Amino acid sequence: MGSARRDRSILLTGMMGTGKTSVGRLLGRRLGWRFIDTDERVEAHAAVPVRTIFERDGEARFRELERAVLEELPTRRAVIALGGGAVVAAENRTLLRDKGTLVWLDADPEVLAARLPADDERPLLAGLEGAARVERLRQLRNERLAAYRSAELRVATDDRTPEAVCAAVLCALGREDAA
């Protein structure tokens, strides 16, 4: 693999609860690359949590801030955990194509619901528990399937620890040397 291709940033997409942040941190450590979480960057710019941006200014404002963060992402030697909805807008998908290799982490909605803590602060799940939460996750995943499928790779996370997902991603990228 040429070094330009080998050094391309890795972008992790997929639903909340697929482990983008935990897996991204592990990948960064294995490759010796920096790790960036786009939600954290949005929060740093806005100086308030994502939940507050949604409550105070609405989802559209959050998406504007998210878009600005996506534009600044480095194209080389970074592992980037995207917010679960970052790939939904077609303009964002076009932008992200030039930023690096897009990898979709996937899992069944039941698995996602079991992984997300009960007191989770994600605004798109606010007030939902049990079966209603699973249903919401299923609906969102279905709505977003076409966007997630635009990724170059899909890695199933259902029965895997973050370490095993990290190894599977490295393998799928031909980077067994770092696994």
For residue 19, state whether it binds ligand S3P (rule: CB under 6 A): no
Report the distance separating Cα 54 and Cα 48, nearest Å.
10
Q: Which is nearer to ligand S3P, 153 or 178 (CB)?
A: 153
**Which 107-126 positions form the footprint of ligand S3P (CB under 6 A)?**
122-124
- Stretch 81-100: interaction string toward ligand S3P, x if CB under 6 A: --xxx---------------
For residue 30, state whether it binds ligand S3P (rule: CB under 6 A): no
Q: Which is nearer to ligand S3P, 6 or 21 (CB)?
A: 21
Q: Which amino acid is residue 28, in one-letter code?
A: G
Report the distance separating Cα 88 and Cα 85, nearest Å.
5
**Of 39, 14, 37, 17, which is closest to residue 169 (Cα–Cα)?**
14
Q: Which is nearer to ligand S3P, 123 or 175 (CB)?
A: 123
Q: Which is nearer to ligand S3P, 136 or 175 (CB)?
A: 136
Query: Which residues contribute to the site for ligand S3P (CB under 6 A)?
Result: 16, 20, 39, 50, 83-85, 122-124
